[in-house]
Structure 1
Amino acid sequence: MKKFTTKFNYKFLFMFCVANIFFLLALTLQSGLSEKNISIVPQPQHMEFKNFKVKVDKNWDISVNTSNKENIFSAKLLNEKLNNKLMITDINSKFQTRRIILAMSKDNFKEKKELRITDKIGKEGYVLEVFPSSIVITAHTSAGVFYGVQALLQLMEVNGNVISIPGVKIVDYPDTAIRAVHMLDLQGSLNELKEKLDFIAGLRINTVIFSEQAFWKLEKDNLQPGRENSSFLQELFAYCRERHIEPIPELQSFGVALTILQKDPHAAEGIWVQDEPFKWINNMAVPVKSSEVFLENSGFEIGGVAGIPAGWTFGNEYGRNDWCRDKTSAYEGRCSVMINVPSPLNISSNTLQSKLIMVDRDTAYTLSFYAKKREVNTAVDRGFAIRIFQYDRSGNFLVENYLPLQYANTSWEKLEFNFVTRPDTAKIYIGASIIDGYGTVWLDEFKLKRMNGELVNVIRTESSNISITDSAKTKIYTEGKDYRVFDGEIKHPYFVNYNRPARIERLETGKINENEPVLISYDFVLRFHPATWMTPYCPSEPRTYKIFFKTVNDIIHLLKPNYIAIGHDDIYGIGRDSRCKKRNMTLDKLLSEDINKLNDYIHTIDSNVKMMVWDDMFNPWHTGGKNNFQMHYGGLPGKSCNAINLISKDIILMTWWFDSNDHMNKMKNTPDCFKSKGFSYLVTGWKDKKNIKNWIRIVKDNEECKGIIVTTWDGWDNNIEGIEYTAKLSWSGQ
């Protein structure tokens, strides 16, 4: 009997344990499935699962303090997303049984005692808890309530008319104060833009920077035909604010001065032609120096040794025959030159090189040629390019100017490459090659033209005009008495081959003798890059700021922003025309004067509006740290980064870097640099996940860094993953 009892007890115990193991396993699996099936993006800081679900049907209400307009908006937004349209009632109503509560932490409601709301959640955090007969979202601010609603929407499981919500408790808040998207150009309809804003609002993005030329053209209708841009932008900004997104207008300026220069092409930073010798033919001024520069065999029609065109060389740096003189395709004549790097090699090619060409120092030139391409694939910032290599009289290399050819078409197209020689340049040669890429390119009909004296794109303002003296510079002649100017055509984007040049006529009743040589000085505009937006405005021209100030004034009064971004990233050729040079200012002082002038004016309109600027020109680890960089484009010597010591400390710097390797050490060194200078800043990444992750680490380690911006330079659709990844890491790091 004892033996039987013992055996029975062990058997019962074994069965009981097995049953419990299966029961616990079932609970674990149920809990695990719940966690696995629930996805909230960004992932909350803390989330507990209660292992039950509630079903929301038409018998539920949405309860909110009806005096809070922002929370009413969140309630309506939630209701729109539900299949069953629920009643929106006041939070203090006595007749509610089942309800979704959207409440501020200061509101009174019966479930409040079961919640623990701490200051840790901050201004944008929230607490979301699901009870058997109620769902509560509460926060210290309406932004927190809105974000709680976004989380609740992601929790919902819809099955017909029934919506199930798992029992959870979420305590959530952001790690990063400013979580921004930079939106380049407002492409698409207003409804399409609203869809994008809804998308980023769901990701808890709280700032969007709109980089758009329409801010300069509020009276136009280019955003929506038949509707003024001002009305369009007002609705867009209101839509952002309803979703707790801070809308920031970006007025691209200085280096990217497209719209200012479209309004007044004379506001451009020109090139100063000083004391250019002219003579008179039939009373018309003609430059003494010829504009045409001799290039040997510029059309490659004359063959040479081993099939290489006379006057040119094909390099053999890599032991391959990349270049050839092609007799099957030409723009003009019988031959062109062709480079062919077959895919998928993705390598650097040998170089096509001209003979050395003697040139004048401190002079503007235009190299024109014809090109076409086939299946060219190259690095964006390098790739296939025409290059000008400048040397001094002793043969020392000075600088390289280059023109990327990813802009060329698949059929023959005329391209122009403008450059300025340095004060110590004596000779140049033309080169062409592929760096890190592959494809086929044909080139033909090179022409080099000296632009000083061509009177094209002449600037005529109160502070910059044509002046004429005798050759000894003892007499100054007067327009209207001694000579007459027939204005040419000057308009953005300043094509030198299409804009009609000015003409100057000697007046026979004036003091200039018929055969007298004269010196003519003037400023003219030359475009240095195939991108039409890369012509800077002149920081010494009053017309520049007349346009800028009016636009800023209109935007502040119309859109009431808390921030205004002003660009100032890609600036090439600061201080090269007479208006700047006559003021005898250094590079850093000229740049800082411009920035401070804009900042001061913004504050005269509204002292609470903060100005934001890209840091490229102010950062010693970016363009600003390159010594004499502006001289490559005819500008002033020195480093523009020295201007950081002269600009107002209340300006917010936006530091951008795109790759994950940080090959210029910008990401590594910028935080300490800006901290030592006393600036707050935002970091700005692109779609590369490692790049974004590295920036987030910097945000969290440096209190001077106020947040992160993710950019969409190559289009919105190409950056969705980068936007989502930035949202995740900037909110909770997950």
Structure 2
Amino acid sequence: MLLPAVALLAPTLEQRWLYLQTNLLPVASVDRAISILERAAKVGYNGVVLADSKIARLDNVPDGYTVNAKRFCDAARRLKIEVIPSVLGVGWADGMLSHDVNLIEAQPIRGVEYRFQGITARPVPTVKLVNGGLEEANGDKLVGWNLQDGPGVSSFREPSPKGGMAVRMESFVKGNEGGNCRLSQVIDVKPWHQYRMQAWMKTQDLDGSNEVRMMALDSNGKPLLSQDIAAQRTEDWRRVTVVFNSQANAKVRVYWGIWGGRGGKLWWDGLTVEDAGLLNVVRRPGAPLKAAGIGGPLREGVDFEPVSDPLLGKRPWDGEYTFDQDPPLLRRKTSGSIRDSDVVTVDAYHAVTTDQGKSAICPSEPATRRIEERELAEVSRVFGPDGLLLSLDELRVANWCGACAARKSTPGAIFAEEINNQVSMARKASPRARLCFWSDMFDPAHNAVDGYYLSNGTWSGSWKGLPKDALVLNWNHGGRAKSLPFFAGLGLKQVLAGYYDGNVEDIKTWLADAKAVKGVTGVMYTTWTDNYSNIEAFAKAAWGA
């Protein structure tokens, strides 16, 4: 196959890459991936960053996967395209967590009271939502709610098919110029307790479904949760669930509603907030469980049965976490010191996810290091990579569990050390591979900031862990005026991760701006919607292919 002399067209773009998300297990997916590479090679691409969730599970995939991976790599090298697998997705860690579901990053619960009735105990209730059944009202104005947007204008009570009353939301801008339609109230909570919010939800032709949320905010307006209930444009009644940790707060503002709604209808019914207790309790050395009664500390296995949540990280498959299951109960041993009606207090840690099930793995447990070492060894064996993307990006839960807290550090400092460890392991497993990193968690103009989502502390200083020969895949187009010179000032080379399912012509502006700094050596066609129809247009815009 005759390849174009692209280097003559764009001598400054050493890396002309594309980002490919796929699953190499089905033969049809491999066929499609190779056809994309063949198209890319014709216009001068010379590298592919391969993202496949199976990479974190290479020690547990069917034999056909390795055969298909070899076929993919052979095709890439025939086309003079380097293969750069994405590995160690510690912020998108479901694959890594499939090896040990207890390694998920976890928040603490402290002093949670359980009252025994017979041999079992449930949490002593600590929270009350007023009029969550939506039964009490003056016309369409609900009783007990501190905030209701547009009663009788954009929010209306109506009989629920489940019995009782529901609230219908529509004509959002009529009730709120921003298109917000919300129900909210301030509730009393106990600090460092886990709570679960639930409701029944229905939608019809809803424009703005991605902004339907259930939220909990502290007194400063900072979110205590970041889970997405994934509302669809039109769907029948579905029970939706989120959880939050109250942290140090005694009061929390909770919300159900839509932000920036543009059209259609949204219904709510059966709103609840309840004590979640030991839901998704995490059991590992850095997340100890302690219990005490009126006589002092209690012994697990002696005074009460061993505690676990059998559904932790198990639905729909290992490494995925759900929050709608029944929380585990405490069970006393009849031979122990706990008696009927006793109240015991429990300290423990519970799993936390964000978005639509996005999870982070704890960097401080030795077991995590062993999983990372195994993944890197398997990637070397299966792919023989030309490069590795150490995929620390959008890590939204950090530095809560006992293992991390014992370091008395910050997320930034912890992950600077974690990157050092990953680099050492990667160089050992694949000595010739170029090491690459997404930019965001090392960029103070992006996500390397204070209070990032549910991170406990600042991400400042995370960049200190980057090796001097790191290749940064910079996707901060909006903050490029600060981001580009920041990494250039660290002496690091950068690849501009462009396109992002927008206008392919934007890469021209970015490249023009990049001329003001040293070390921008390439570009990458990056799609998150599996859209490879524009790879030729991107190549033309970026290097004139």
Post-superposition shift, 1:419? 2.3
Identify the residue that residue 526 of structure 1 maps to in structure 2.
Answer: 352
Matched to 1:377, the amino acid is: D
Matched to 1:324, the amino acid is: F
Structure 2 residue 416 is the aligned partner of structure 1 residue 592: yes
Over 3 Å counting, the alpha-carbon distance change for 1:554 and 1:196 in structure 2 is: same
Task: Report the number of matched residues.
Answer: 531
The alignment's C-alpha RMSD in Å is 3.0
Identify the residue that residue 218 of structure 1 maps to in structure 2.
Answer: 58
Post-superposition Cα deviations, 1:173-202, rounded to whole Å, max 9, x if no partner, equal 544111111112237432222211111111
CA distance in 1: counterparts of 2:108 and 2:225, whole angstroms: 20
Identify the residue that residue 537 of structure 2 maps to in structure 1.
Answer: 725
Identify the residue that residue 637 of structure 1 maps to in structure 2.
Answer: 457
Matches within 5 A, 1:70-469: 74=1, 146-148=3-5, 172=9, 174-186=11-23, 188-218=28-58, 227-251=63-87, 253-287=89-123, 289-290=124-125, 293-305=127-139, 307-312=140-145, 313-316=147-150, 321-327=153-159, 330-341=160-171, 348-378=178-208, 383-391=211-219, 397-399=221-223, 404=228, 406-408=230-232, 410-424=235-249, 426-435=251-260, 437-451=262-276, 454-469=277-292
- Contact 1:612/1:651 (<8 A) preserved: yes
Post-superposition shift, 1:342? 7.9
Post-superposition shift, 1:350? 3.8
Structure 2 residue 488 is the aligned partner of structure 1 residue 675: yes
Over 3 Å counting, the alpha-carbon distance change for 1:173 and 1:456 in structure 2 is: closer
Identify the residue that residue 31 of structure 1 maps to in structure 2.
Answer: none
- Contact 2:22/2:33 (<8 A) preserved: no
CA distance in 2: counterparts of 1:690 and 1:384, whole angstroms: 32
CA distance in 2: counterparts of 1:674 and 1:506, whole angstroms: 57
Q: Quick one: higher RCO (CA 8 Å, sep 6+), 1 or 2?
A: 2
Identify the residue that residue 697 of structure 1 maps to in structure 2.
Answer: 512
Post-superposition shift, 1:653? 2.0
CA distance in 1: counterparts of 2:217 and 2:205, whole angstroms: 27
CA distance in 2: counterparts of 1:320 and 1:656, whole angstroms: 45
Post-superposition shift, 1:574? 0.2
- Contact 2:439/2:476 (<8 A) preserved: no
Structure 2 residue 378 is the aligned partner of structure 1 residue 554: yes
- Contact 1:182/1:210 (<8 A) preserved: yes
Identify the residue that residue 157 of structure 1 maps to in structure 2.
Answer: none
Structure 2 residue 302 is the aligned partner of structure 1 residue 481: yes
Matched to 2:106, the amino acid is: G
Over 3 Å counting, the alpha-carbon distance change for 1:519 and 1:171 in structure 2 is: closer
Post-superposition shift, 1:511? 4.9
Over 3 Å counting, the alpha-carbon distance change for 1:606 and 1:694 in structure 2 is: same
Identify the residue that residue 155 of structure 1 maps to in structure 2.
Answer: none
Note the residue ranges of structure 2 that are not aligned, 5 or more in a row. Answer: 314-318
CA distance in 2: counterparts of 1:559 and 1:526, whole angstroms: 33
CA distance in 1: counterparts of 2:31 and 2:83, whole angstroms: 17
Segment drifting more, 180-189 vs 668-677: 180-189
Post-superposition Cα deviations, 1:211-250, rounded to whole Å, max 9, x if no partner, equal 111112335557xxxx521111111011111101111111
Aligned-pair identity in percent equals: 18
Over 3 Å counting, the alpha-carbon distance change for 1:299 and 1:278 in structure 2 is: closer
Post-superposition shift, 1:369? 0.9
CA distance in 2: counterparts of 1:611 and 1:425, whole angstroms: 46
* TM-score of the aligned structures, taking structure 1 as reference length: 0.67
Post-superposition shift, 1:334? 4.1
CA distance in 1: counterparts of 2:333 and 2:229, whole angstroms: 46
Matched to 1:692, the amino acid is: I
SS in structure 2 at match of 1:604: helix
Over 3 Å counting, the alpha-carbon distance change for 1:379 and 1:446 in structure 2 is: closer
CA distance in 2: counterparts of 1:700 and 1:412, whole angstroms: 54
- Contact 1:347/1:437 (<8 A) preserved: no
- Contact 1:645/1:677 (<8 A) preserved: no
Identify the residue that residue 316 of structure 2 maps to in structure 1.
Answer: none
Post-superposition shift, 1:674? 0.8
Over 3 Å counting, the alpha-carbon distance change for 1:231 and 1:314 in structure 2 is: same
Post-superposition shift, 1:470? 4.4
Segment drifting more, 404-413 vs 702-711: 404-413
Post-superposition shift, 1:205? 1.0
SS in structure 2 at match of 1:483: coil
Identify the residue that residue 494 of structure 1 maps to in structure 2.
Answer: 321
CA distance in 2: counterparts of 1:280 and 1:340, whole angstroms: 46
- Contact 1:373/1:441 (<8 A) preserved: yes
SS in structure 1 at match of 2:208: strand
- Contact 2:37/2:76 (<8 A) preserved: yes
SS in structure 2 at match of 1:208: strand
CA distance in 2: counterparts of 1:486 and 1:364, whole angstroms: 16
- Contact 1:273/1:522 (<8 A) preserved: yes
Post-superposition shift, 1:455? 2.0
CA distance in 2: counterparts of 1:611 and 1:488, whole angstroms: 38
Identify the residue that residue 156 of structure 1 maps to in structure 2.
Answer: none
* TM-score of the aligned structures, taking structure 2 as reference length: 0.88
Matched to 2:78, the amino acid is: E
Identify the residue that residue 505 of structure 1 maps to in structure 2.
Answer: 331
Identify the residue that residue 142 of structure 1 maps to in structure 2.
Answer: none
Note the residue ranges of structure 1 that are not aligned, 5 or more in a row. Answer: 1-73, 75-144, 152-169
- Contact 1:464/1:579 (<8 A) preserved: yes
Over 3 Å counting, the alpha-carbon distance change for 1:606 and 1:220 in structure 2 is: closer
Larger Rg: 1
Over 3 Å counting, the alpha-carbon distance change for 1:365 and 1:279 in structure 2 is: closer
- Contact 2:212/2:231 (<8 A) preserved: no
Matched to 2:110, the amino acid is: Q
- Contact 1:179/1:206 (<8 A) preserved: yes
Matched to 2:29, the amino acid is: S
- Contact 1:390/1:429 (<8 A) preserved: no
Choose which of 357, 380, 401 in structure 2 pairs with 1:577: 401
Over 3 Å counting, the alpha-carbon distance change for 1:650 and 1:285 in structure 2 is: farther
CA distance in 2: counterparts of 1:401 and 1:219, whole angstroms: 34
Structure 2 residue 541 is the aligned partner of structure 1 residue 714: no
CA distance in 2: counterparts of 1:403 and 1:463, whole angstroms: 24
Post-superposition shift, 1:402? 5.7
Post-superposition Cα deviations, 1:407-437, rounded to whole Å, max 9, x if no partner, equal 3451111111222334245231325233163
Matched to 2:116, the amino acid is: W
- Contact 1:220/1:229 (<8 A) preserved: no
Post-superposition shift, 1:354? 2.6
Post-superposition shift, 1:258? 1.0
